[in-house]
Amino acid sequence: MMSGWSTLFYKEVLRFWKVSFQTVAAPVLTSVLYMLIFGHVLDQHVKVYDTIGYTAFLIPGLVMMSILQNAFANSSSSLVQSKIMGNLVFLLLTPLSHWSWYFAYLGSSVLRGLAVGLGVYVCTAWFGGFYFAHPLWIIVFAVLGAGILGCLGLLAGLWADKFDQMAAFQSFIIMPMTFLSGVFYSVNSLPPFWQKVSHFNPFFYMIDGFRFGFIGHSDNSVWLSFSVVLTAFLLVSALAIHLLRIGYKIRG
């Protein structure tokens, strides 16, 4: 028999899996197109590391970008949709604790992010080669990164009352921080000022640590990246749990 949190988790997984063509296949296709365009155009013209081609450098960034964006989209869209459709009240009537809400929404977001990321890697690795320099770091950064964006999705979903507000959160915060994190380039190729700016972006450490797991090269110490990402995860988790506990914008 399923417990409360696992039932909610199962419901959230079914929610995105029933429309997997839209929630999983479509993001995979988008990332493959990015890879084909940027990889084909720049592979012979851009050299990031001496022994690694640009396509091999690009693939981990695209995979992580897909993980982050879809983990955020899962929890944020679910909460906002429940608010607009008015079915959030049925969850409020249950004896589920804020911990159950947290683990269910976070778990489903991480699962969706990893599913999309795996799909992107399977479809793109054929073009750049299969690299697994440090598999444990791949898992660590993938799970923590998806967890951070799942929590940010919770925060956005709790704050937003309509899809326009959620879209603004994603367009003006999540997307810029993702694209300016070194997905398509090495931050060491930037001017000194913009290198310093990039180091204030936590998304940079997620991308850089994740890429290190694949190709064994990074723009920064992998342990520093791990420390920053773990700290960010604990902070956003604490905030999300607190807002769920007090029922921020979900209880009258």
pLDDT value of residue 2: 55
**Residues of the chain where predicted confidence (pLDDT) is lower than 50:** 1
d(CA 184, CA 62): 8
Tokens at residue 126, please? Answer: 């054929």
Which residue bears the tokens 């209880």?
Answer: 251
Q: Kindly report the pTM of this predicted structure.
A: 0.93
Q: Convert the pLDDT of each residue in 127-168 to its tens digit.
A: 877 888 999 999 999 999 999 999 999 999 999 988 889 888
Please state the domain extents for the chain.
4-246
Which residue do the tokens 């012979």 mark? 44
